[in-house]
Amino acid sequence: MHTNQPKQTNKALLDLILLGHVNETAVSIVAANLQAIMGLNTDIRSELAKPDYAYVSGRNQFDAAKIIKKLCSITDGAPLKLGLIESDLCSPILSFVYGESQLGGKAALVSLHRLFAKDPEVTYQRIAKISLHEVGHLLGIRHCWKTSCLMKHSSNLEPLDLLSMYFCSACEYEIKRCLETLLNRDT
Ligand SMILES: [Zn+2]
Ligand SMILES: [Zn+2]
């Protein structure tokens, strides 16, 4: 709990919420990259149960929007929430999603399910890239058309793997501005 701590620049702005068992190395890598690339401090919250309420029977997937709604209902902890799940996610209009986010909202979600590669290094990079992208949306940043910006939309793994681990200067500027606003706001 951080609510009783004095206001300080390193307070956690985002809680990583594990939905069922999530690979521990992946969780640490997401937290490390949010810190290193975005300057976003995170807390890793204890694991929640697998979200049975969002299970889509017949598809063996979980409805991303339902999970995000649930994450939004958590009132304690940091102002932003990023859910991590190993199961596959879908939306009513898409057969699968790597992640989903509320633009300028409170909660985002990333699935590890389709990101696994033979090389674990590649797997962890993909998970970090999708997490940074979804948290970018969470801060209100829309898709970017620059060739190598993490806010560029990746419809499959090929373009995702081509991205470098950074935002373009315009997106980076916006992210900094949004984080400063959040830090200066009493939560
Ligand atoms: Zn996106
Ligand atoms: Zn950009």
Cα of 136 from ligand 2 centre, angstroms: 10
Cα of 61 from ligand 2 centre, angstroms: 31
What pLDDT shows up at residue 81? 97
Residues (pLDDT < 50) of the chain are 3-7
**Helix, coil or strand: residue 82:** strand
Spell out a b/e string for 111-127, using b for 16 or more CB atoms within 10 Å of the CB, else e. Answer: bbeebeeeeeeebbbbb
pLDDT tens digits, 132-152? 999 999 999 999 999 889 999
178/155 Cα distance (integer angstroms):
26
Q: Which ligand is nearest to the CA of 147?
A: 2
- Per 3-state DSSP, what percentage of the chain is helix, strand, and coil (rounded to 5)? 35, 20, 45
Cα of 76 from ligand 2 centre, angstroms: 31
Domains observed in the chain = 14-182 (3.40.390.10)
pTM over 0.85: yes
